[in-house]
Every structure is written in C-alpha cells, then in structure tokens.
Homo-oligomer: A and B are copies of this chain.
C-alpha cells in the first residue's frame, strides 16, 4: 500500500470529488492523512467529535454497544466513504465507535477548518447533506428490517446486499463471489443475533449448497433461494 497524496485522496472521496482543482488545493491545505493500523479504534462512542474523516484506503467497522452489552455493527465502510460526519455539530459525542478492520488511511479535517470550508464553498453543503440523508435513509431501512423479521431473513438480505455491492461472478461454481471476509461473530453483530445462531444458519446453508464460506469472502450459490428466504 503506497500512501497517496492528500490531493489524490480528495479526488477519491465522494464529498470532494466535484471540486475544481483550485478549490481542491485549498481543501488540501487543511486536510491531513492519518494511518490507523488494523485493530485500532479510530473513535469511540461517547467521545467528543473533533474532525471530519473520510476513508482513503481500508475497511472500517462502525458499531454501537446495545443496552444488553452486545455489539451491533451499524455499517462497514470502505474507501471513499465519509466517517464521523454524523457528529460534526459542535463537538457532539459520537453515537457509535469505529474500528479499523485493515490498515486504514483516513483523510482528516479538523472541525473549525471544516466549518470554514462549508461557509466558503456552499456546494460542499449539498454533498454533505446528501451523504447524511442517504445514511439516514439506510438507518431507517435497517431499523424497519430488524423488527419483526426472522434472523434467517436478515442473513439472506445481508448477503444479497453484499453481492449487489461488491459481488463478482464466480467462474468455478456459477455463483457470485463477495470478497468480504467476516467472522461468524461479525455476521451475528451485523444482524443483531448471537454467534451460535449465526453459526447454525451458515452451517446449514453450507450443507444445502446455498452459500459457501471461503477464506476471503462468501460465494452465493442459490441466489433465488436466498431471495425467497429474504422475503419471508
């Protein structure tokens, strides 16, 4: 992994992509790159927010602990996604935690600089609002999904979404390969269940040739079956 320049990084993140080169230079003046090693917390639930972040390289798990002490994964973000825009209002505390799943490079703009940028470049506001509203819509969707749906249906939807977002054809078995290694525990945290239930479902699907677990991701074989399960 070669560390890109700040301007390269700006070109890669959705919020800043449409800036003119001159504006990009000005943004670059206040942006910093920071590398978080795999397994490190990037920010923690309850901390005061002090900067706007965007992922340049690597994957980041955003999660929140439930009142029962379990851990619910809200989202797994990748390159180009903004991070912590959620809490950018006057140092409000982060509502969730973020942890680097890989060695991760982040673009970082301190809060005062970020507000100055917003006031100087109104078009940035639209981009930011866009990101926030999309995230809000996604959260409401997941909220509706978590209630009243059986765990198995949530699993099916999770993998169908994965396939749609990052899937590629799998030549060997005529399925779809989703290159996203996740442990059973992480699957459980994504769907709001326990590790045992996650193992049971994955184990059964493996036997029934619906879905295979591989070292670096999952192979969806029986996509129609998953869709039927998701709808139930």
Among the listed stretches A22-30, A68-76, A178-186, which one makes contact with chain B, having 4 or more residues with CB under 8 Å of it?
A68-76
Copies, count: 2
Chain A 189-220, CB within 8 Å of chain B: the 1/0 string? 00011000000000000000000000000000
Q: Report the minimum CB–CB distance from A189 to chain B (whole Å).
A: 9
CB pair A192 B148 closer than 8 Å: yes
Residues of chain A in range 75-97 having any CB-CB distance to chain B below 8 Å: 86-90, 92, 95-96
Residue ranges of A at the interface with B (Cβ–Cβ < 8 Å): 64-68, 70, 72, 74, 86-90, 92, 95-96, 115, 118-119, 122, 125-126, 128-130, 132-137, 139-149, 153, 157, 192-193, 230-231
Q: Report the minimum CB–CB distance from A61 to chain B (whole Å).
A: 14
CB pair B139 A139 closer than 8 Å: yes
List the 6 closest A-B pairs by CB distance, nearest first: A147-B192, A95-B137, A119-B122, A89-B130, A68-B148, A89-B133
Identify 13 new A-B residue pairs, CB closer than 8 A, beyond the known A92-B137, A119-B125. Answer: A64-B144, A66-B144, A67-B144, A70-B148, A72-B143, A74-B143, A89-B130, A90-B130, A92-B133, A95-B137, A128-B129, A132-B133, A143-B146
